[in-house]
A and B are shown apart, each in its own frame.
Chain A
Amino acid sequence: MMGRALVLYVALFGLLLGVGMVMGAPFTVRLSVEAAAFALIALGLNIQWGYGGLFNFGVMGFLMVGGFAVTFISVPLNMDFWNSQGPFMLAKVLAAAAIGAALIVWVNRWKVTGRKKRVAQVAAWVLAYLIYRSQIDPAADYIEANAGFVGGLGLPVVVGWAFGGLLAAGVAFIIGKICLGLRTDYLAIATIGISEIIRALIKNMDWLTKGTLTVSPLPWPVPKPQELQEFRFDVSQSFIWSRAAFGILVVAVAVGALVLAQRAYGGPWGRMMRAIRDNHVAAAAMGKNVKARQLELFVFGSVLIGIGGAILTSFAQIFDPGGYQPINHTFVIWVMLIVGGSGNNVGAMFGGVFIYVVWVMSEPASQALFTTLSSWSADFGLGAIPEIESRALQMRVFVLGLVITLALRFAPKGLIPEVIKRPVAETQEKAVAVRS
């Protein structure tokens, strides 16, 4: 199995070299840095799904949380905001939120049960919502009118990445606490619903995130190309080196995460996790606290996804809440995981890089294909293909669908499958196959 992984990684490196020859070095370095971030994200999802069997269909939400976090931490202070009434008003908002939360908790603790309690709970939620709205609406209007948005804290970018992981962990903790009891498919629907709620909030809370107006340029953790150019690098060189330096940081984070995940997976903790995934009833019967362990996985995986989201945002130098789409930010990562091999960290990261390259390169590849086809059809008197560029861009969606379909059909365990043998689970699977 190690041999297979090695061959595939060498082939992947060859693929990147090939891309470099066709598309040029600056493009390929950019692609590689983004691919490394996606490898980190796929690793995070693998911890949730591959280790824990937790169907997180809300990856997009966590990427946005990470993106927002790094924006908030690294963007310079907005003095217009700090010198205004804004901070005071936000403090009132926080107080209102706390009062509302306390109200809900207080009602939840009532000893009464049945219909009365339910009415009281609904009333508490409504009241808490009204209290919050009474403070947030004027505060939001005031900040947007006087300062644009709250701005950032002006701290180093790497701190922002860490905060991305932390914030994602917090969000994951809350989601996990309320959702992890759900069946797999219900969990999928719930998490995709929650990620849409997160998207709606981040997109529309202009006072905090600037919403669709976008925040840019975001600071870089390494010297920017423009800074290098002042320093005797030519334009192309400056882009290569600046992006490469960024890439080294990303690879360091990704490899660090991999080492951590591998060590945890091989140890007793990992064995327990697999036991829970494969038969959580038996694991619970053996006295394992299944829900708490699953919550750990969900939070740990989300940390990596959050960091990945923060990295992608700071690399793009723009936080654009309108640019997040379920296809580009949730489905694609699932394809990475399934194709790479869920349950195998090395496989998941391979899938992350490989699928990202396929995803990005299917556009120029299709464009080349269409141009050739177009010249043929023109030669045959059928006329040229119209709108080649916009059509080629859409090909990547189709290619992604095709790849996942083929993978499910011909390599359901992924290109680098999980290594651990699980005889019990396998016989069960066969029995199911015969019966249905």
Chain B
Amino acid sequence: MNELVFFINKVLISGTVLGSVYALGAVGITLIFGILRFAHFAHGDLMTLGAFVSFILASIATSLGIQTFWPNGFIILPFAMVITAGLALGIDRGFYQPLRARGVKPVTLLIASIGVTLMIQGLIRLFAGVRTRSFFEEVPKELFRLDMSVIGASRPLVISEPQILLVASTLAAVIALHLFLTRSRLGKGMRAMADNADLARVSGINTRHVIRATWVIAGALASLAGTMLALDVTLKPDLAFNIILPIFAAAIVGGLGHAYGAIAGGFLVGFAETLSVFNWSVLLRPFKGLLPEGWSFPSDLSIVPTEYKLTVAFVILVVVLLVRPTGLFKGASS
């Protein structure tokens, strides 16, 4: 049964963790695409920025002697989300809105987002340097080892506190987003504008409000995703720039513009990555006795070698774009 526990640790838990991060990022990208019709390449850096905001707030909290049951990087999250949402609004005001006012094509906004990517990364590296930081320099990260002897396994299930918090807060964010989009006036206006921007304008929906709300949500979720990712691993300037393409893959798998699709796409890409580098040979080990004498299963049965883990996401991205650019779940989500 150790093999099963190994599978849960390596595939289910890390797939869920990865999928949560991708989903939160992809929702932001997909909302921005739905409302403003451009691929926001700076989204990864918005996540990194959010993580750095959290890091600064957590450091302040720690220096004030605040110690709670939760990690400081987690309790300051609401503040970090508000600040990052404000930064996202500022970025839009400073860099995208002037171009929109000139009526440029969406592709120009895409290029502008590259400029934003470079400036955010440059500033972070300038002020924070390139070294890797941890939210857990003073307090160690809590690890939960769940005893699995019930099912006859000697190895425990291992999950860290940040991972539990990540999955829980992703769930909370998804529910909140769902309620916002289906129950609130502004949320419905957002869906209306993503559906048909001209008609939304004709209906008297204040499109400037909707655009602002979009940046607030995208910024807040980016901050959440970036911070939780940094809590799970470490904080560095290219934290989320490195995963911007898997996040795009998630958004595209779900169909750009479709919030629920992006969430599903996030988990799909996350699990695809963990499943394809998992060594399936491990699961065959218990059945070794069934083989004739002298035979054995191949020692490595992973679908792709570990170093190609991220490449799986790129391949999904390209294949979905070529085969079904409207996403896999068209018609199933709004």
Q: Which residues of A contact B (CB under 8 A)?
A: 55, 178-179, 182-186, 188-190, 192-194, 196-197, 200-201, 203-204, 327, 331, 334-335, 338, 387, 390-391, 394-402, 404-405, 408-409, 412, 429, 432-436
Q: Is the CB of A197 within 8 A of B118?
A: no
Residues of B within 8 A of A391 (CB): 125-126, 129
Within 8 A of A (CB), among B217-259: 245, 248-249, 252
CB-nearest residue of chain B to A53: B107
Residues of A within 8 A of B122 (CB): 394-401
Q: Is the CB of A394 within 8 A of B130?
A: yes
Which stretch in B64-72, B96-104, B162-170, B264-272 binds the other chain? B96-104
Q: Is the CB of A188 within 8 A of B110?
A: yes
Q: Is the CB of B314 within 8 A of A196?
A: yes
Contact among A185, A203, A327 with B110 in the assembled complex (CB-CB below 8 Å): A185
Q: Is the CB of A193 within 8 A of B317?
A: yes
Q: Is the CB of A190 within 8 A of B318?
A: yes
Distance of A255 Cα from B130 Cα, bound (Å): 39
Kindly list the 6 A-B residue pairs having the minimum CB-CB distance in the complex, ordered from nearest.
A398-B122, A401-B118, A433-B103, A401-B119, A394-B125, A397-B122
Q: Which residues of B contact A (CB under 8 A)?
A: 38-39, 95, 98-100, 102-108, 110-112, 114-123, 125-126, 129-130, 245, 248-249, 252, 305, 307-308, 310-311, 314-315, 317-318, 321-322, 325
Q: Is the CB of B129 within 8 A of A390?
A: yes
CB-nearest residue of chain B to A430: B103
Distance of A400 Cα from B119 Cα, bound (Å): 8
Residues of A within 8 A of B95 (CB): 405
Q: How far is the CB of B258 from chain A (nearest CB, A)?
A: 15
CB-nearest residue of chain B to A195: B314
Distance of A401 Cα from B308 Cα, bound (Å): 30
Residues of B within 8 A of A331 (CB): 114, 117-118
Q: Is the CB of A200 within 8 A of B307?
A: yes
Distance of A179 Cα from B122 Cα, bound (Å): 32
Contact among A178, A185, A401 with B107 in the assembled complex (CB-CB below 8 Å): A185
Distance of A203 Cα from B314 Cα, bound (Å): 15
- 26 sample A-B contacts, Cβ–Cβ < 8 Å, listed by A number: A55-B107, A184-B106, A184-B107, A185-B107, A189-B317, A196-B311, A197-B314, A204-B307, A327-B121, A334-B111, A335-B114, A390-B129, A391-B126, A394-B122, A394-B126, A398-B122, A398-B126, A401-B119, A402-B115, A402-B119, A404-B118, A408-B99, A408-B108, A409-B99, A412-B104, A436-B100
Q: Is the CB of B322 within 8 A of A401?
A: no
Distance of A396 Cα from B119 Cα, bound (Å): 10
Known contacts A189-B39, A193-B315, A200-B310, then 5 further A-B pairs from the complex at CB < 8 Å, ordered by chain A residue:
A193-B248, A200-B308, A334-B111, A387-B129, A398-B123
Residues of B within 8 A of A183 (CB): 325
Q: Could you tell me the dominant secondary structure of chain A's interface residues?
A: helix
Q: How far is the CB of A396 from chain B (nearest CB, A)?
A: 8
Q: Is the CB of A193 within 8 A of B249?
A: yes
Q: Is the CB of B118 within 8 A of A397?
A: yes
Q: How far is the CB of B315 from chain A (nearest CB, A)?
A: 7
Residues of B within 8 A of A429 (CB): 103
User: Contacts A401-B122, A436-B100: A193 and B318 contacting too (C-beta < 8 A)?
Assistant: yes
User: Contacts A188-B39, A204-B305, A397-B121: A408 and B115 contacting too (C-beta < 8 A)?
Assistant: yes
Most buried by A among B108, B110, B249: B110
User: Contacts A185-B107, A398-B126, A412-B108: A196 and B121 contacting too (C-beta < 8 A)?
Assistant: no
Distance of A401 Cα from B314 Cα, bound (Å): 25
Distance of A89 Cα from B111 Cα, bound (Å): 45
Q: Is the CB of B308 within 8 A of A204?
A: yes
Residues of B within 8 A of A399 (CB): 122
Residues of A within 8 A of B104 (CB): 412
Residues of A within 8 A of B39 (CB): 185, 188-189
Contact among A178, A334, A435 with B114 in the assembled complex (CB-CB below 8 Å): A334
User: Contacts A196-B311, A197-B315, A432-B103: A408 and B112 contacting too (C-beta < 8 A)?
Assistant: yes
Most buried by B among A387, A401, A435, A436: A401
Residues of A within 8 A of B121 (CB): 327, 397-398, 401
Distance of A404 Cα from B110 Cα, bound (Å): 12
CB-nearest residue of chain A to B106: A185
Q: Is the CB of A186 within 8 A of B325?
A: yes
CB-nearest residue of chain B to A201: B311
CB-nearest residue of chain A to B121: A397
User: Contacts A185-B106, A200-B310, A412-B108: A190 and B317 contacting too (C-beta < 8 A)?
Assistant: yes
User: Contacts A394-B125, A394-B130, A398-B126: A182 and B321 contacting too (C-beta < 8 A)?
Assistant: yes
